[in-house]
Amino acid sequence: MTVPAIELKGISKAFGPVQANKDISISVAPGTIHGIIGENGAGKSTLMSILYGFYKADKGEIWINGTKTDIPDSQAAIASGIGMVFQHFKLVENFTVLENIVLGAEDGGMLAPSLAKARKELKALEEEYELFVDPDKRIDEIGVGRQQRVEILKALYRKAEILILDEPTGVLTPSEADQLFRILHRLREEGKTIILITHKLREIMEATDTVSVMRRGQMTATVKTAETSPQELAELMVGRKVLLQVDKVPAQPGKPILEIENLRVVDEAGVERVKGIDLTVRAGEIVGIAGVAGNGQSELLEVLGGMRPGQGTIRLNGTPLALSGHGSDGQARRAQGIAHVPEDRQREGLIMDFHAWENVAFGYHRDPAYKRGLFMDNAALRADTERKIEKFDVRPPNAWLTAKNFSGGNQQKIVVAREIERNPDLLLVGQPTRGVDIGAIEFIHKQIVALRDQGKAILLVSVELEEIFSLSDRIAVMFDGHIMGERLPHETDEKELGLLMAGVAGEAA
């Protein structure tokens, strides 16, 4: 029999009272892509952080290529041929690609020889694995898709034979994700072993050879990908049957809630990001904005949410909104009946070092329900948070945990609970399920549809076309700051929307 590239035996890890991993055993064959799936908080990332030396297991053994191996830190993991690409990249943004590749792997005290050696090896790696990226560009000058390539190149430069990728497509567009999987298949052909941590069943089915399922810190199953189905995997992940399609009745649109006319947005560098768009969202409908990231969707949400100024006309329930100066900020928008789930929950939706109960008040701290004279009524706020935690199934159900100690999906539930429970006239939602597992996706989608069915207007921005099709009652496509066209989901398909997203307009699309 072939010796496993990786074998974990009886791995357990607890953080205080929370048992993140419990007696986990897993075997990964060499030269394969092995998927690990599970809900947010199932213990996937903790397990891989143990393998990479970020955490030390409380008990258990790690075997690499048939040899029992102690991995006390990441340097030991790298020396054992393991590389890891984290969900949130570990890159120095004002360093060049080449400098990031070399960082921590310099040869001696003189940097110039290390850079020259790395430049030569980088060129060979790029050609071998089709991982092309300009070595002299700064990280903050390249997109997230290329930043991810830099992380992969960093691991390969350090001679990694085993590559761990943690939620690698969470920040990628569909086309960037497809390119990533072509790269992973190329790496597999060259004999590399890849562990893919993801919650996206489509990616598991398309990219992996074998898949292991985790639930609540334990390994529940390992199956050949060709011998399973998305429905079976979803049930193994969640412990119950899961609806993979959004269950909703046809919309009954009412009066216009949001009316946008000739909206223009110029960014801090003087670049026009939104170029005179018109859009209407009615009561009782979800309008989805499709498009490749960076085509003005983010700026549109930010103007509507009071995060940046704009020019043109925006009316809410027939009343014009200020687009700059006094009365144009997020506080004013919330008072006017607009709730906002921002695209980046960690930077814009939460204060990561604050407790869950403090984050529930974020932006609504002037609500009379949270006041006791001149002071905050913390007891009332905590009670409200506990009610939201129970209703939205936030795990662990602890209002005193800081936001950074919740998994990504549970962080998102906190933001969604805070905004939806304000009973807004208009809900702005940016990337509602980015980095969220299948069970939480189903739950969040249900909450959005329920709000629509209460007669509220919802503007949805997502780079996930599947999500746009599932949730939207009407789809608008943005390209280069323009709305290229509107379509009804049942009258279009991914090919037509893809052409519109690429700037091909009208009859050609």
pLDDT for position 434: 78
pLDDT for position 222: 96
Torsion of CA 202, 206, 212, 213, to 10 degrees: 10
Q: Which two tokens stand for residue 381?
A: 């706020």
Does residue 500 surpass a pLDDT of 70? yes
- Going by pLDDT thresholds of 50, 70 and 90, the confidence category of residue 177 is confident
Return the residue matching tokens 């069915």. Answer: 453
Query: For the segment 239-283, what is each residue's pLDDT rounded down to a tens digit?
Result: 877 766 788 999 999 999 999 999 999 998 899 999 999 999 999
Q: Percent of the chain, pLDDT > 90?
A: 61
pLDDT for position 171: 65
Single-letter code of the amino acid located at 278 = D
pLDDT for position 274: 97
371/387 Cα distance (integer angstroms) = 18
Rounded to an integer, the average pLDDT of 199-212 is 90
Top-level class of domain 256-508? alpha beta
What superfamily does domain 6-238 belong to in CATH?
A: P-loop containing nucleotide triphosphate hydrolases (3.40.50.300)
What ranges make up the beta strands (E) of 237-381? 256-266, 272-282, 285-290, 311-316, 319-320, 338-341, 371-372, 375-376
Numbered ranges of CATH 3.40.50.300 in the chain: 6-238, 256-508
Contact 152, 442 (CB under 8 A): no
pLDDT for position 66: 95
Query: For the segment 368-421, what is each residue's pLDDT rounded down to a tens digit?
Result: 889 888 888 999 999 999 999 999 989 889 999 999 988 788 899 999 999 999
Rounded to an integer, the average pLDDT of 53-69 is 95
Q: Which two tokens stand for residue 111?
A: 């940097």
pLDDT for position 257: 98
Contact 32, 194 (CB under 8 A): yes
Contact 233, 211 (CB under 8 A): yes
277/261 Cα distance (integer angstroms) = 6
Q: Percent of the chain, pLDDT > 70?
A: 97
Number of H helices, E strands in the chain: 16, 22
pLDDT for position 168: 85
309/172 Cα distance (integer angstroms) = 27
Query: For the segment 74-127, what is each residue's pLDDT rounded down to a tens digit?
Result: 999 999 999 998 877 888 988 999 998 888 878 776 778 888 888 998 889 888
Does residue 200 surpass a pLDDT of 60? yes
Q: Which two tokens stand for residue 163?
A: 């590559």
Window from 105-109, 227-231, 474-478 with minimum mean pLDDT: 105-109
Does residue 194 surpass a pLDDT of 80? yes
- Going by pLDDT thresholds of 50, 70 and 90, the confidence category of residue 67 is very high
* Residue 170 vs residue 463, higher pLDDT: 463
Query: For the segment 128-172, what is each residue's pLDDT rounded down to a tens digit?
Result: 888 888 999 998 888 777 888 898 999 998 999 999 998 888 667
179/172 Cα distance (integer angstroms) = 10
Rounded to an integer, the average pLDDT of 53-71 is 95
- Going by pLDDT thresholds of 50, 70 and 90, the confidence category of residue 290 is very high
Rounded to an integer, the average pLDDT of 10-29 is 93
pLDDT for position 1: 64
Whole-number mean pLDDT of the chain?
A: 90
Does residue 41 surpass a pLDDT of 80? no
Q: Tell me how far CA of residue 421 lies from CA of 203, 346, 391, 397, 409, in angstroms.
A: 33, 20, 10, 18, 18
